[in-house]
Amino acid sequence: MAELVDALDSKSCDSNIVWVQVPLRPPNLQQFWWNMKEKELKKQGIKSLVMSISLFLLLFLLTFWLIFKDQDMGAILDVANDANILWIFAGLLLMVGYFLVQAWNVKSILGSLGQKISLLKMFKFTLIEFFFCAMTPSATGGQPLEIYYMSKEGISVPKATMAIFVQLCGYQIAVMTLGIISVLFLPVKLPPAVFMFFTIGLLINGVALLVLLSCVFLPKITQIVGNAFIKFAHKLHLKKADKMEEKLNDSLAQYAENATYIKRHKKEFLKAVGRVFAQVAVYYLVPFCVYKAFGFSEHNIFELFAMQSVLFIATAGFPIPGAVGLSESVFLSLYGTIFGLDIINSAMLLHRGITFYGFVIISMLIVLANIVFLKIHERSPEKKAEKE
C-alpha cells in the first residue's frame, strides 16, 4: 500500500493537465495522461457544454410538448399540488442521501490512498458530476470534469481518478445486480416497448461491466481482443487507428494500476461496492415516496423499488443527455397501471422533478458558483505569486 501511495504522490498536478477517456499511466512515468493543454480543454469544454445544454433544453421542451399537448395542464398541476408534502419531502431527503452516500464513498476511497477531503467538499464535487452527467450523452462528461475541478482545488489527480474508477465500477455492479433481481419482483408485466429498452439497456450495461472487469483482471485477453479490432481498423484505413492503439495501451496501463489498488485494498473495495449498493437502493426508493404522496397503498415498497430498477436500466445506456424524453416515456408506460390515468402525468412530473430536474437546477448553481470561486482564486495575489 505504501508503495502505491508513494507512486501516486510522485505525480503532481501542473498547468498542462487535460482529460482523455482513460487517464492514468504507470507510476514510473512522469508525464501526465491528458493529451491537450488546459486552455484547449477549457475552450472545447465550454463549446461542448453549450451544445449539450442546448440539446438538453430542446429535448426537454420537445418531450413536455409531446406529452402534455393534448392534456389539461391545470388539472395535472392541481393533482400534483394535492400530493402529501411530507412524502415529497421524504423523496427529496432520499435524493440528498443518494448524493451524500456517493460523496462519503469517494471520500473513503481517497482516504485509503492518503488523500484527505471533507465530506462537504466531496458533496460539492458529486453535484458537479451530476450536472455534467445530465448535460452529456450517456453521462460521459461527469467524471472527467469532476476530476478536473477536484484537481483545481488541490486533490491529487491520480488518486481522484482511482477513487472515481472504484465508484464507477461499484455502480455498474450494483445497477446490474439489482436490475436482474428486480425483474423477479415486478408487480406488473413489462409493456413490449419497456421490455425492449430494458433488454437493450441490460446488454449495454452488461457489456460495459464486462469490459471494465476484463481490463482489470484479464488484461492479456483484453490486449489480444483490442489488438484484433485495431488491426481490423488498420485494414479499413481508418484515420484514428493509431490513436485507438495508443488509447488501448494507455487504458490497459490505467486498469493495471486499478487492479493493483483492488488487490491491495480488497476490504476497502468491497466496502466501497457495498456503499454503492446502498446509494443505488436509496435512489430506487424515491418512486415509493411519490406513490405514497398520492395516497396509494396497494403495492409495497419492494415492488416500487423493482420497477425503478427496471426503469433505470431501460434508460441509462442510451446517448441522450439526462435520458430526457426516454425516462418520461418509460415512466408513463411502466407505472401507468400503478398510478392510473388520472394521476400518472402528475406522478411523472413529481418523480422527475425530485430525482432529476430539481437537482439539475441546484447542481447548475453550484457549478456556476464554483467557476466564479475559481476565477476569483486564480486572480488572488497568492495565486499570482505561485505562477510567477
Q: Which of 150-154, 287-291, 313-317 has the highest mean pLDDT?
A: 287-291
Query: 371: helix, coil or strand?
Result: helix
Instruction: Centre a 10 Å sphere on the Cβ of residue 297 and count the other Cβ atoms it contains.
Output: 7
Question: Locate cell 464554483: which residue?
Answer: 370
Q: What is the DSSP track for 185-208?
A: G-SSPPPHHHHHHHHHHHHHHHHH
pTM for this prediction: 0.81
pLDDT score of 25 more than 80? no
pLDDT in tens, 108-127: 999 988 889 999 999 999 99
Residue 237 confidence (pLDDT) = 63
Which whole number is the average pLDDT over 27-46?
A: 42
pLDDT score of 136 more than 50? yes
Residue 209 confidence (pLDDT) = 84
User: Rounded CA gap, 310 and 313, in Å?
Assistant: 5
Question: What values do phi and psi take at 261, rounded to 5?
Answer: -60, -45
| Size of the chain in residues | 388
Question: What values do phi and psi take at 191, rounded to 5?
Answer: -60, 150
Binned at pLDDT 50, 70 and 90, residue 253 comes out as low
